[in-house]
Amino acid sequence: MIIPALLTSKREDLIQMVDLCAKFTDYVQIDIMDGEFVPSKSVTVGDLSCWKPSICCEAHLMVSDPYLWLEPFKSLGANRIIYHFEIDKDHKKIIAKIREIGLGVGLAVNPDTEIDDFRYLVQDLDTILFMSVNPGFYGAPFIPEVLEKIKNFKEEYPQKKIGIDGGIKQDNLLQVKQTGLDYVCIGSAILKNDDPKMSFENFVKLFNG
């Protein structure tokens, strides 16, 4: 599955991105950055109010405090929250809170985070999202060493749904696919393409071919 990842600091642009993606997919990821966990900033909690996306979405929270975003995304109609392992919070409590509000839960892990670091949480999660860039910017360079970690994780947890996010282009997608992952989140290579629909469809063909 190819999932467009949407990142912007403006509410109007986010709405336009979702409406654009609705022309060629029924599912997107909305990237949230707080300027603390990562240096960049995205839309705010207030920007999400009084709006219902025209297609299904999930949240990728690159933030220090995920709790601030749970109810806003619940109200938005999201079906899953993905937050980062590297924050200084009680992960069991975060996972329980996300479950409590009726959403699926995923854990994003940065390139330097080892499998042993988050192993104790795997059974409580719906998905693991492996970052193949250092998060915080659209278009950051791909880190190929992450692929070996994904292969190792898949061998150990073959039934666990896993994805990758960051720096994915058409020229490295087949290499990424060989790890056995389930979905790929792609931002700038789709949304900043002159023809986002064609770019998305080309990624889908490559991934499913």
The domain that contains 160 carries what CATH number?
3.20.20.70
* Most distant CA atoms of the chain, gap in Å: 43
Number of structural domains (the chain) is: 1
Which of 26, 165, 171, 195 is the catalytic position? 165
Q: In sequence order, which ranges of the chain are alpha helices (DSSP H)?
A: 11-21, 67-76, 91-100, 115-118, 146-156, 173-177, 188-191, 196-208
pLDDT attached to residue 141 = 83
> Is 182 annotated in the active site?
no
Structural tokens at position 110 = 């940065």
> Is 165 annotated in the active site?
yes
pLDDT attached to residue 209 = 82
- Mean pLDDT, to the nearest integer, of 10-37? 96
Domain range spanning residue 56? 2-208
Q: Tens of pLDDT along 40-86?
A: 999 999 999 989 999 999 999 999 999 999 999 999 999 999 999 99
Tell me which amino acid residue 125 is.
Answer: L
Q: Tens of pLDDT along 37-51?
A: 999 999 999 999 989
Phi-psi sector, 150: left (phi>0), alpha (psi -120 to 50), beta: alpha
Q: Tens of pLDDT along 91-150?
A: 999 999 999 999 999 999 999 999 999 999 999 999 999 999 988 766 678 899 999 999
Which of 19, 31, 124, 171 is the catalytic position? 31
